[in-house]
Homo-oligomer: A and B are copies of this chain.
C-alpha cells in the first residue's frame, strides 16, 4: 500500500530500540509531509556522523579526533578515572560539571540475557589505560566504577574490580563506586544534577 521507499524508511526507523512499527510509520510520514527537505537534512547529518566519528584512543568516548578533548585537556586531573558504560553517561557528568578527572567508556555492560559477555567490552583497554595513568601519577589513582546501579552494572563493576585487583593490592589504585543515592534500577543518563552530585560526593 505504501511505496517501497517509504516501507524501507519505516523498516530502518523500526530498528531503533523502543521504536515500534506505528511510531516508525509516524516518523517516516513526518518526513514525507515536511516540505523543507528534512529527510535529506537528517540523511546528511547521519552520513556526516558516520563518516567523522572515531573513538578516542584513550577513553573510547565518541570523538572527532584520535584523542578527545577531555583526554587531551591540561585542565583535567589524571589521578581520577571515571569508568562509565556509554558516551551519553560522559555527557551526563560533564553537563553536571562535578567531575574534573578523566573518563573511560566500557561500551556497555555484561549482560548474559542479551548475549553480552565480558569479552565484548573494553576491559583490556581499561586495564591498559589505568596502568598508563598509574605510571604518570605520583600518587594513588582513583578508579570510580560509575556503571548504572542495575544488576548488570553491578556485575560489570565487580568484574572490573577483579581485573584490577593486583593494582589495588599493590596500593597503586583505589577503587570506588558511586554512592547509592541513585535508586536501584535507575538510568544514570536520566539522573538529575543533584542526584549525580550526591552520588559523586558519597563515593567510597
Measured CA separation A53–B33 after assembly (Å): 11
Measured CA separation A91–B17 after assembly (Å): 24
Tell whether, in the assembled complex, residue B45 and residue A12 are in contact, meaning their CB atoms are under 8 Å apart. Answer: yes
Tell whether, in the assembled complex, residue B62 and residue A2 are in contact, meaning their CB atoms are under 8 Å apart. Answer: yes
A193 contacts partner chain B, Cβ-Cβ < 8 Å: no
Chain B nearest CB: distance from A123 CB in Å?
A: 17
Tell me the A128-160 residues at the B interface (CB within 8 Å). none
Tell whether, in the assembled complex, residue B1 and residue A49 are in contact, meaning their CB atoms are under 8 Å apart. Answer: no
Number of identical protomers: 2
Tell whether, in the assembled complex, residue B49 and residue A6 are in contact, meaning their CB atoms are under 8 Å apart. Answer: yes
Which residues of chain B are within 8 angstroms of A180 by Cβ–Cβ distance? Answer: none
Measured CA separation A29–B87 after assembly (Å): 8
Tell me the A49-100 residues at the B interface (CB within 8 Å). 49-53, 62-64, 69-70, 86-88, 90-91, 94-95
Tell whether, in the assembled complex, residue B49 and residue A9 are in contact, meaning their CB atoms are under 8 Å apart. Answer: yes
Q: Which of A36-44, A161-169, A171-179, A196-204 contacts B (4 or more CB under 8 A)?
A: A36-44
Tell whether, in the assembled complex, residue A64 and residue B1 are in contact, meaning their CB atoms are under 8 Å apart. Answer: no
Shortest Cβ distance from A52 into B: residue: B5
Measured CA separation A86–B8 after assembly (Å): 19
Which residues of chain B are within 8 angstroms of A64 by Cβ–Cβ distance? Answer: 3-5
Task: Given A3-B64, A26-B88, A95-B1, decide whether A8 and B48 contact each other with a Cβ distance below 8 A.
Answer: yes
A184 contacts partner chain B, Cβ-Cβ < 8 Å: no
Tell me the A113-136 residues at the B interface (CB within 8 Å). none
Tell whether, in the assembled complex, residue A88 and residue B25 are in contact, meaning their CB atoms are under 8 Å apart. Answer: yes
Task: Given A38-B12, A53-B6, A190-B22, decide whether A91 and B46 contact each other with a Cβ distance below 8 A.
Answer: no
Closest 10 CB pairs of A and B: A43-B43, A43-B46, A12-B42, A5-B49, A39-B50, A3-B64, A39-B46, A8-B45, A1-B94, A9-B45
